[in-house]
Structure formats: structure tokens, C-alpha cells
Amino acid sequence: MVEFVKAYIEQLKKEIDTIKPEDVTKVVDVLFDAWKNDKQIFIFGNGGSAATASHFACDIAKGTLQRVYDHLEKRFRVMSLTDNVATMTAFANDLSYDDVFSQQLNHYVNEGDVVIALTGSGNSPNVIKAVELAKKFKAKTIAFLGFDGGKLKNIVDHHVHVRSNNYGRVEDCHDMLHHLVTYYLQKKIQEHSESSQHGRQ
């Protein structure tokens, strides 16, 4: 029915308007600093958020490049922790599902790296456990949230909160946000490159 479609879109517009632009800007600044300082970025989530994590990592890695065939171009060091099914299921089977992200982080994360959690509820035990481990390593933590933000809202250093109680629309907004962040980073990197070139002249 057309009315259902209209109602969904109208509600989505209202929920997009709950996002604070200044929160998005802070996230972009953290990621841009990671790029400048050669820090790693790790992204993860469950279900639909797992797919968004893969998409987000892909876009940050490739979508920010100015000269894709230039192997000397400075690039983001970004990884989705949802992509290695063998690793995830090994930790889930031998330890517990709560460990699938934290155990992967334990292999790689260092001080100053960036850890991004994608979650609707903000209460997923495996996501919280990974963020808590990241903080022990003094990594910077970010969450993209929905509903009331859950426990994670008060744990992470920075968050972007979509005030919606519908998982589908929260994920819609998170997808939009990851594209926004990617294009913003692309813009900042281009401006940084142009500024550096002018400085050398």
C-alpha cells in the first residue's frame, strides 16, 4: 500500500532529524586523525550491523582514495571484524559468541587505534565486551546507536545516536551515516592534500 510506504519514509525523515551533526563531526575528526597518524580502525556489529560494518570498512578503504592506482597514496588501515567467518565461528564455538569481536581485537588493537561499534540496542554483550577490551588498550571508541543508546552510550568516547525504536530504520540511518562519514573524510583528505601541496610551493 502506498500509505505504508509514505508512513515509513515520513518516520525515517523524523528519525534522521534526531541525529546531532556535531556528533558526526567528532567521529569524522577522530577518523581523520587516525588516517594522519597511521592508526588502525576496526568496525563490527551483529546481524544487519555486521553487513554495515563490512560496507563501512569497504567505503573508508576505497571511497576515500584520490588516486586509486597510486600505491604510494596514504590510505586508511581499516578492517571489519565481521568478515572472517572461520575466525568468528571458531571463537563462538570454542569460547562463546560474546567473544567473537573482543578476541579478534586482542590480536590487533593498539593504543590510539579506533574501534567502531554498530548496534541498534547498545546492549549486545559481544559488542560491549569488545569495546571494554579496546578501552583497556587505550583505543578510541565510537558507537553508532539506536533506541535509548543502551549501556554502550555511556561507555564509548563518542557516539552518534539515532532516536528510533525500529531496528530497520536505525540500520537505514546507520547506512546513511557511514556514507556521509566517508564523503566527509574524502573531502577533508582532499583539502589536506591541496594544503600540503601549496605549502611545498
What are residue 32's DSSP bridge partners?
A: none
pLDDT-derived band at 198 (thresholds 50, 70, 90) equals low
pLDDT-derived band at 120 (thresholds 50, 70, 90) equals very high
- What's the CA gap between 91 and 79, in Å, rounded? 18
Whole-number pLDDT of residue 195? 78
What are residue 143's DSSP bridge partners?
A: 117, 159
Q: Which percentage of the chain shows pLDDT scores above 70?
A: 98
Lowest mean pLDDT among 42-46, 68-72, 95-99, 196-200: 196-200
CATH of domain 2-200: 3.40.50.10490
SS (H, E, C) the chain: CHHHHHHHHHHHHHHHCCCCHHHHHHHHHHHHHHHHCCCEEEEEECCHHHHHHHHHHHHHHHHCCCCCCCCCCCCCEEEECCCCHHHHHHHHHHCCHHHCCHHHHHHHCCCCCEEEEECCCCCCHHHHHHHHHHHHCCCEEEEEECCCCCHHHHCCCEEEECCCCCHHHHHHHHHHHHHHHHHHHHHHHHHHHHHHHHHHC
- Whole-number mean pLDDT of the chain? 96
Residue with more model confidence, 31 or 68: 31
SS (H, E, C) 127-157: HHHHHHHHHHCCCEEEEEECCCCCHHHHCCC
Domain ranges within the chain, ordered by starting residue: 2-200
Q: Is the pLDDT of residue 201 over 80?
A: no
Q: Is the pLDDT of residue 147 over 60?
A: yes
Residue with more model confidence, 139 or 199: 139
- Sequence-distant (6+) residues with CB within 8 A of 57 are 41, 43, 78, 79, 80, 83
Q: What is the pLDDT of residues 122-137, one digit of tens each?
A: 999 999 999 999 999 9
Whole-number pLDDT of residue 194? 81
Q: Is the pLDDT of residue 199 over 90?
A: no
The predicted model gives 63-83 an average pLDDT of: 95
**In the Cβ-directed half-sphere of 150, how many Cα atoms lie within 13 Å?**
22
Whole-number pLDDT of residue 196? 72
pLDDT-derived band at 200 (thresholds 50, 70, 90) equals low
Q: Which percentage of the chain shows pLDDT scores above 90?
A: 93
